């Protein structure tokens, strides 16, 4: 069960600062945990566990089971190498702050009451870490997602945490700068930080405060990629669906015909580069809106409603052994050995590493061969190095002769 959130929570500030109407539309929709959000919460809990128990090398926990406090429940986690490595990147950054010669104070998983200082009702949240180093207030947030790179500059969530932390400090603790840091190991190997002078920071706070003051029950809804991405109301929001349709239809302007029955696809091999780029830029927004619409249609039908032209049917059947289908019973029925029913496979390097203790990964490295995966299309902002394709080399003459034919045999 998902934990309750503030009506104007810092974590959704990127949405309500851009779409005031989303607050009212989301109000009646419950929070639902996903596989990814639960996994991220567990990683946060492991990081908190390490900090509270003075464990600075989480790799020492690999292969061990630890009891984590996850919201109101205790979760038994078998620590895997990959998760420990991600937490290690976060802890390395935190250690650098806490061991700094100008260190003054810090708080872990600190609940921030932000509403009072901004005049906003019901605005609170929990910061992963806040620390005062000299006169610089640091706000550090761990992100476990990989789908979108989150940047600290202009990040409403961290700005609100910073405002909450600043107002909680005693008057004798002076703050001249605020540094916001995002640690997102799945997308960036190093933390990313942005520092504001106090006047700059207060400008950001004022921007968010002004947006909060515009929120009312009849506030207009403003669709957009950033605010719509994780909005709970996306599947029922007319503005989000209209924007997705406009983007999809506008990209092809005259090259695709969309009727009430069947869309006529465009020949993408003939698309000019500007339209190809535009389509790629809006791909995620269009897909996510369609996924949200599909989820909403399923919800309506499964709760007794209807959606014209659609129905729910049973999924593909799967077969598994019943409680009586034990290897012993099958062996007796087929007059064979129980070994006949088992497949023995060598564990993959990734599976084995999850079970190895600290240092085990280095031991097996000489026995591993790395094979490059298929090339992936990403935006230029991705930190990975671009592959270089030089088609001209295939056609350049060598000493006046044509290059040797490529062989696939």
Write out the chain's pLDDT in tens, 409 residues. 344 445 788 888 999 999 998 888 888 787 777 777 888 889 999 999 999 999 999 988 988 899 998 877 888 889 988 899 999 999 999 999 999 999 999 999 888 888 777 777 778 888 999 999 999 999 999 998 776 788 999 999 999 999 999 988 888 899 999 999 999 998 888 899 999 999 999 999 999 999 988 888 888 898 887 888 788 887 788 888 777 777 666 555 544 444 444 454 556 677 778 777 776 776 666 677 777 777 778 888 888 888 888 888 877 777 888 888 888 888 888 888 888 877 677 778 877 877 777 677 888 888 888 877 777 777 777 777 788 776 554 444 444 444 333 332 3
- Sort strands 177-183 and 192-197 into parallel, antiparallel or unpaired: antiparallel
Residues 22 and 15 sit within 8 Å (Cβ to Cβ): yes
Residues 50 and 58 sit within 8 Å (Cβ to Cβ): yes
Pick from 67, 55, 162, 182: which is nearest to 107 by CA? Answer: 162
Residues 129 and 95 sit within 8 Å (Cβ to Cβ): no
Whole-number Å distance between alpha carbons of 261 and 366: 59
The pair of structure tokens assigned to 300 is 């309506």
The single residue listed with the structure tokens 């190809």 is 276
3-state secondary structure of 197: strand
Per-residue pLDDT at 129:
93
Per-residue pLDDT at 250:
58
Residues 305 and 264 sit within 8 Å (Cβ to Cβ): no
Question: Longest C-alpha distance within the chain, in Å?
Answer: 83
Per-residue pLDDT at 71:
78
* pTM (predicted TM-score): 0.66
CA triplet 196, 131, 210: central angle to 5 degrees?
45
Per-residue pLDDT at 69:
83
Q: Is the dihedral of CA 274, 275, 276, 278 positive or negative?
A: positive
CATH of domain 10-213: 3.90.320
Whole-number Å distance between alpha carbons of 154 and 201: 9
Taking only the tens place, the pLDDT of each residue in 285-309 is 667 777 777 777 888 888 888 888 8
Per-residue pLDDT at 201:
96
The single residue listed with the structure tokens 């394709």 is 389
Q: How is the chain split into domains, by residue range?
A: 10-213, 225-302
Per-residue pLDDT at 401:
46
Per-residue pLDDT at 265:
54
Whole-number Å distance between alpha carbons of 307 and 235: 13
Whole-number Å distance between alpha carbons of 404 and 408: 13
Per-residue pLDDT at 88:
92
Pick from 161, 96, 97: which is nearest to 127 by CA? Answer: 161
Per-residue pLDDT at 251:
56
Q: What is the DSSP string of 251-278?
A: HHTTS-B--SS--B---GGG--HHHHHH
Whole-number Å distance between alpha carbons of 325 and 305: 40
Which H helix or E strand runs over 286? Answer: helix 273-302
């Amino acid at each position: 069960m998902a934990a309750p959130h503030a009506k104007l929570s810092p974590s959704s500030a990127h949405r309500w600062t851009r779409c005031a109407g989303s607050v009212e539309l989301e109000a009646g929709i419950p929070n639902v945990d996903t596989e990814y959000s639960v996994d991220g919460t567990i990683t946060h809990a492991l990081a908190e566990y390490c900090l509270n128990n003075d464990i600075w090398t989480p790799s020492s926990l690999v292969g061990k089971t630890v009891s984590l406090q996850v919201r109101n429940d205790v979760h038994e986690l078998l620590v895997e190498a990959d998760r420990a490595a991600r937490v290690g990147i976060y802890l390395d950054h935190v250690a650098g702050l806490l061991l700094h010669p100008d260190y003054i104070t810090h708080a872990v998983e600190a609940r921030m009451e932000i509403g009072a200082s901004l005049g906003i009702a019901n605005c609170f949240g929990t910061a992963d870490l806040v620390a005062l180093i000299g006169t610089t207030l640091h706000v550090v947030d761990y992100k476990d997602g990989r789908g979108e790179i989150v940047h600290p500059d202009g990040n409403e969530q961290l700005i609100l945490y910073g405002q909450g932390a600043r107002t909680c400090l005693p008057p004798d603790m002076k703050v001249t700068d605020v540094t916001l840091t995002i640690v997102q190991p799945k997308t960036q190997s190093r933390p990313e930080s942005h520092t504001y002078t106090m006047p700059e920071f207060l400008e950001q706070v004022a921007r968010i405060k002004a947006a909060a003051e515009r929120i009312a029950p009849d506030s207009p809804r403003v669709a957009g990629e950033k605010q719509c991405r994780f909005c709970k109301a996306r599947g029922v929001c007319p503005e989000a669906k209209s924007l997705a349709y406009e983007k999809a239809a506008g990209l092809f302007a005259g090259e695709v015909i969309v009727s009430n029955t069947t869309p006529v696809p465009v020949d993408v091999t003939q698309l000019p580069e500007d339209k190809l780029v535009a389509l790629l830029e809006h791909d995620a927004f269009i897909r996510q809106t369609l996924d949200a619409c599909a989820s909403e249609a399923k919800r309506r039908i499964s709760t007794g409603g209807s959606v014209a032209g659609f129905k729910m049917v049973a999924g593909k059947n799967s077969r598994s052994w019943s409680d009586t289908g034990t290897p012993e019973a099958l062996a007796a029925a087929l007059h064979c050995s129980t070994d006949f029913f088992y497949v023995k496979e060598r564990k993959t390097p990734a599976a084995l590493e999850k079970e190895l203790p600290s240092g085990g990964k280095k031991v097996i490295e000489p026995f591993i061969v790395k094979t490059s995966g298929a090339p992936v299309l990403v935006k230029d902002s991705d930190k990975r190095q671009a592959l270089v394709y030089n088609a001209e080399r295939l056609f350049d003459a060598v000493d006046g002769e044509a290059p040797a034919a490529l062989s696939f045999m």
